[in-house]
Amino acid sequence: MKLTGAQILMKVLQEERVDTIFGFPGGTVIDIYDELLKTDIQHIRVRHEQGAVHAADGYARASGKVGVCLVTSGPGATNTVTGIATAYMDSIPLVILTGQVPTHLIGNDAFQEVDIVGITRPCTKHNYLVTHVEDLAQILKEAFYIARSGRPGPVLVDIPKNVSAAKTTYKPIEGVSIKSYNPTYEPNSKQLKEAIKLIKDAQRPMIFAGGGVILSRASEELTAFARKTHIPVTMSLMGLGAFPGNDPLSLGMIGMHGTYQANTATASCDLLIGIGVRFDDRVTGKTDCFASQAKIVHIDIDPTSIRKNVTVAVPVVGDCKICLQHLNRMIDEAEIQDLEAKLRPWLEQIDDWRKAHKLAYQQDPDGPIKPQYVVDQLYRLTNGKALITTEVGQNQMWAAQYYHFEKPGHFLSSGGLGTMGYGLPAAIGAQIAFPDKLVVDVAGDGSIQMNIQEMATAVEYELPVKIVILNNCCLGMVRQWQQLFYGKRYSATCMNCAPDFVLLAQAYGATGFRAERPSDVEPILRKGLETPGPVIMDFRVEKEECVYPMVPAGAPITEMLLA
C-alpha cells in the first residue's frame, strides 16, 4: 500500500494512540493538516506556537502520555524553542513535529527556512531531519520511543514539504531497537544492598524526592518506602505531589524557598537518599555546605545526573519505580520495628523545627489582600483536589508552599527553565487531558501576559480553565530581590500600565471577577470556580509582600531569611 508522508504520519500517530495534537497550521504542513481532517485525532489550534508546546507539555505532565505538537517552518518552528527548552529541563516527553521547506531548497535561504534541527540540538533529547519519505515511519517510531523511555524528554522531527507529499510503500513497524540507546531500568543489586546498609546504620536519614519519582509513576512505592522505614521526605519543586503533602513525614519543599524544617533537617541529616533528583543550584545553595554531615545515596535513571553536582556515596542507576520496589522488598518487618524506635528522636527534633518556624502570614481583615491567603483559601475550597498550573515567580512559590499537593501530576510548573507564560497554555493541555477535573492556573500579573492570547483557545474549545491572578502590579520576584538586596531601587519591575483583567476576560468572551479586599477573596473564588467556562479572577494583593523563607543566592540553605 502506497501512502504519502502525511498519511504515514497519521498512521504512526494512531498506532502510538495519540488522541490530541496542539498546533498552528502553515504552508509547509498543509498536506499534514489536510490528512489530519480525515482522522479522529483531536487538533487544538492555539494562538501562538509557544503555547502549542506548553499545552502539549501540560497534557503530558497531567496524563503521563507523550504530548504532541505540530507547527510550520521558519518562525513557526523557532517560536517553539522556549517550550522545547522548558520540557527539556524538566524531562517531559514530547514529540514536536515541524514543517520544513522542500529538501532541494534547504540551505538556499528559502522563504521561511530555518535550521530548526541545529537550533534545538542543545535543548532536545534527540532530533531528526527527514530527507526521504521511506525513512519517515521508522523515524517517527524512534521519536516516540526516545521521548518516553529512560529519562524522558522532547524529540523534534523536522519534515520537509516534499517528504509530506511524496509516496512510498508503508509497512507497520512493530518494535523499536536503537543499538546506541539502551536505558538502564534494573538497578545493580550490590548498590541497593549498600543503600540498605546505610539506612540501617543511619540515625538521622532523609529522603529527597524529585520529578523523576513522578515521571516514573513511583509515588505509591515512595510513599510505601517512607512509611515503612519512618524516614521523613522532602521534595523539590518538581517533586511536589510525589509524596502526600499532608503526611506527617512530609517536610514540604526544600531549597531557596523551601520550608525551615526541610532545609534545617537536610543540613543535620547523616543520610540523604535522593530519588529522581538533579541536585540543582536552587536546591543545594552553596554546594560545599549542602548535607555536609550526610552520606548521599542517589537513585536516578540518568547516569550523567549522578555525581554531577554533589558527592555521592552510593550511586544507583535505574528506574525510580523499580528501585523502590526492590528496596521495599529488601527491608523486613524486624528491621522496620528497629528503625521506628531508632528514628523517634530524629522525628521529634524535626517536629520541633516545624513548630518553631511554620510557613505563616498575617491577614489583616482591613488591610491589603495577602497572596498567601488567596492560595490558602483556594486549597481549602478545592479540598486540595484541583490540578494546579503556575506561571513563574512569586505566584509559583506561594502555590508550592500553600497548596499542599497530595497526588502526583497535580502540580504543573516550569522548574528548570523558569518560563513565564507557561501556566495558561499548560492548564489548557491539562484540561484537555482531564476534561472533568478542575484546572486552576495560579498566575502573576506580569507572567500571565506572556501568553494571554491563549485565552482565545480556552474560549473557542470551551475549556473551563480558572485563572487566579495574584496582581501586585509588578514583576514580583525580581522586585523582591530589588527590595531586599538593592535598596528598593525598582528598576523596570513596576507594571503600572497593566490591563483591566476583568475587561480583558470579557473581550475574549470569558468571565472576569476582581477582589480588592480580604473579605472579597472567598466569595470571588467560589463564584469563579462555580462559573462555567474559562474565568479570570484578579486579586489585588499587597505589592511589597515577599516569599519567605528565602535563601540568598550562593548562601547555604540554612541561612534563610524568615518572615
Please state the rounded mean pLDDT for residues 518-525.
98
Using CA atoms, how far residue 49 sits from 62, 157, 397, 435, 544, in Å, is 20, 15, 27, 22, 34
Q: Which of 43, 54, 46, 48 is nearest to 21 (CA)?
A: 43
pLDDT score for 331: 86
Catalytic residue among 112, 325, 363, 453: 112
User: Where are the domains positioned within the chain?
Assistant: 2-169, 189-356, 371-540
Q: Which of 111, 358, 485, 506 is catalytic?
A: 111
Cell of 214: 513522578
CA-closest candidate to residue 200, choices 265, 271, 249: 271
Known catalytic residue at 348: no
Percent of the chain with pLDDT over 70: 100
Catalytic pick among 65, 161, 321, 370: 161
| CATH code of the domain occupying 371-540 | 3.40.50.970
64 in Cβ contact with 408 (< 8 Å): no
Q: Is 391 a catalytic residue?
A: no
104 alpha carbon, distance to own chain's centre? 39
Contact between residue 529 and residue 438 where contact means Cβ atoms under 8 Å apart: yes
pLDDT in tens, 524-558: 999 999 999 999 999 999 999 999 999 998 899 99
Kindly list the distances between the CA atom of residue 182 and the CA atoms of 186, 212, 302, 304, in Å, as whole numbers in the listed order: 12, 18, 11, 14
pLDDT at 382: 97
Query: Which residue out of 477, 495, 550, 560 is catalytically annotated?
Result: 477
131 has pLDDT over 70? yes
Give the confidence band of 332 by pLDDT, cuts at 50, 70, 90: confident
| Residue 333, pLDDT score | 67
Is pLDDT of 337 > 80? no
443 beta partners:
469
pLDDT digits (tens, 9 = 90+) for 398-449: 999 999 999 999 999 999 999 999 999 999 999 999 999 999 999 999 999 9
pLDDT computed for residue 334 by the predictor: 60
- 2-169: which CATH topology? Rossmann fold (3.40.50)
Q: Kindly report, residue by residue over 349-396, the tens digit of the pLDDT.
A: 999 999 999 999 999 999 999 999 999 999 999 999 999 999 999 999
- Other Cβ atoms closer than 10 A to 340: 13
Rounded-to-integer distance, Cα 341 and Cα 333, Å: 13
pLDDT above 70 (res 325):
yes
pLDDT at 548: 97
Looking at residue 378, its pLDDT comes to: 98
- Tell me the percentage of the chain whose pLDDT exceeds 90: 96
Q: Which three cell numbers stand for residue 79?
A: 517560536
What confidence tier does 335 reach under pLDDT thresholds 50, 70, 90?
A: confident
Mean pLDDT of the chain: 96
Question: Catalytic residue at 161?
Answer: yes
Average pLDDT over residues 261-288: 96
Q: Among the listed ranges 334-338, 342-346, 473-477, which one has the minimum average pLDDT value?
A: 334-338
Q: Which CATH number fits domain 189-356: 3.40.630.30, 3.40.630.40, 3.40.50.1220, 3.30.1280.10?
A: 3.40.50.1220
Min mean pLDDT across 5-9, 95-99, 168-172 is at: 168-172
> Each residue of 220-245: pLDDT tens digit?
999 999 999 999 999 999 999 999 99
Please indicate whether the domains covering 2-169 and 371-540 agree at the CATH topology level.
Answer: yes
